[in-house]
Amino acid sequence: MRAEVTIIGSGFSGSILAWILASQGRSVALVDQARHPRFAIGESSTPIADAILDRLGQKYDIPTLRNLSCWGSWQENYPALACGRKRGFSYLVHQPGEKFHEEALGDRSLLVAASPSDYRSATHWHRSSVDQFLWRQAVEHGVVDLTGHAVVGIEVSLSGPVKVVCESADPDTRGSSRFEIESDWLIDASGSSCVVSRYLPVDKKTDQLRTSTHACFGHFHQVMNWTDIVDPTPRADFENPFSADDAAQHHLIDHGWMWMLRFNQGVTSVGYTTLSHQPLPELESLKSRYPSIKAMLSEAEIVAPAGGWVRTPRLQRWFSSIPHPRCVMLPTAALTLDPLHSTGIAHALAGVDRVAERVLNGSTSESAWEQYESILSGETNLLDKMVHMAYRNVSHFERFTVACMLYFAAAIRCEETYQAGLTPSHLWNAGEEQFTDLVDWVDSVIDHADQRVISEIRRKLEPWNSAGLMDPEVNNRYAYTATK
């Protein structure tokens, strides 16, 4: 079989890239060992991800991608496609044995807006539904569908085509079904499987990552609303910028945090992430220690994945992304970092944008791909630093908040660049040396930061702080959004 481009992985990233390339007249084979629908984790989108999706839709004249870039147009056009409304990020600190409460608003809570209205809201993607939808679109637009086939070999040479060996993933036909695809390009969109690294020599860079966490997760029915179990009475003196339920909820407990992401068909994604050297507790033990978590989950029943509550080993892995001039990994194949700041979808989509442009331009020059790898490295180093400092301080809410504020300042600056119609060279300000220097400095002082140091951090963050972050007057409620 021959195709100009072979893509391994039909998750949202591989499917969108395949669709874009097919829309530009390229022949594309999309291989996946699974068949849709299949369970996938990594569901909380962000304004950066939405801005890139919208940009891809404009650039390649694919209105569907634009429609999926915010809650309002998603609901107008695809009301049956499951997703959740994400007006922002909420952080809630729990104490063992106590119902959630605060002496003063903001003592144990932080709300950072992502979107200015329900219509413009970001979304949580019910991945099995969304990935299936995008894969189907790709196939309807001419992509050759090879789902149900696993990649079992890859061969490259300096001048010849890239050869990908596939076989049926169905145990009954596996042995008798081998075939080869020859292509000009091979794109690895296989997420954490990073299939290319099994068959081609690639540098493993995981040891350079400081973040070391593991997680457990599943999808549940009947998770209670946060606003139904805590006192929902609005405070006369301060209004929340959004409901904590229309958000990526981060419940800070023990040495980690629990996420809850509500979708609009009655399912809620629930997971817990903690440092690798801390045990991954059973859900029952978290419920018994934290009464408000117990109240939310008192009626909850796990509905996916089929095997039940998933427990992972260390999440982090990192490979150099260009094993060969015509074989490229998307950022989410080269890297898994951590769910804390919901960066995976945005990173994958930025990779789709960068790779589509280079493949469509036929760019085999070393410098173009060196630049791709160098941008990805810069972004990874910055994210790793920001995530690691947040985990180090997860049990000290004020310092944890400061660590998050660096991320939000970086994300909001990046969103503003997209909103101005430009494409930032790097996501999250990773290309701006003054900003990365600031993050290095905060990293060196944050673990012992007192009020004087925190004021100094606020002062130094000023050039990037259009959202008024770290303002002691606003009770940890931030309503500013770059999206208008």
Ligand X SMILES: Cc1cc2nc3c(=O)[nH]c(=O)nc-3n(C[C@H](O)[C@H](O)[C@H](O)COP(=O)(O)OP(=O)(O)OC[C@H]3O[C@@H](n4cnc5c(N)ncnc54)[C@H](O)[C@@H]3O)c2cc1C
Write out the residues near ligand X by the rule CB under 6 A. Answer: 8-14, 31-34, 40-44, 150-151, 189-193, 195, 215, 217, 271, 315, 330, 332, 336, 339, 342-345, 348
Nearer to ligand X, 66 or 214 (CB): 214
Q: CA-CA distance, 392 to 91, in Å (whole number)?
A: 16
Closest contact distance (angstroms) between CB of 104 and ligand X is 30
Closest contact distance (angstroms) between CB of 87 and ligand X is 15
Closest contact distance (angstroms) between CB of 200 and ligand X is 13
Closest contact distance (angstroms) between CB of 331 and ligand X is 8
Nearer to ligand X, 109 or 123 (CB): 123
What is the SS3 string spanning 368-422? HHHHHHHHHHHHHHHHHHHHHHHHHCCCCHHHHHHHHHHHHHHHHHHHHHHHCCC
R_g (Cα) of the chain, nearest Å = 22
Closest contact distance (angstroms) between CB of 179 and ligand X is 13
Strand, helix or coil at 310? strand
3: burial class by Cβ within 10 Å (0-12, 13-18, 19+)? buried
Residue nearest to ligand X (CB): 42
Nearer to ligand X, 344 or 424 (CB): 344
Closest contact distance (angstroms) between CB of 231 and ligand X is 28
Q: How far is CA 419 from CA 290, 429, 484, in A?
A: 41, 15, 9
Closest contact distance (angstroms) between CB of 315 and ligand X is 5
Q: Which of 122, 123, 134 is nearest to 11 (CA)?
A: 134
Q: CA-CA distance, 433 to 406, in Å (whole number)?
A: 14
* CB proximity list for 420: less than 8 A, separation 6 or greater: none
Nearer to ligand X, 60 or 460 (CB): 60
Nearer to ligand X, 394 or 438 (CB): 394
Maximal C-alpha separation, the chain: 71
- Which residues are registered as beta bridge partners of 216? 272, 311
Closest contact distance (angstroms) between CB of 367 and ligand X is 26
Nearer to ligand X, 41 or 427 (CB): 41
Nearer to ligand X, 101 or 311 (CB): 311
Count Cα atoms within 13 angstroms, Cβ side, for 133: 17
Nearer to ligand X, 343 or 476 (CB): 343
Bridge-based pairing state of the strands 310-311 and 317-318: unpaired
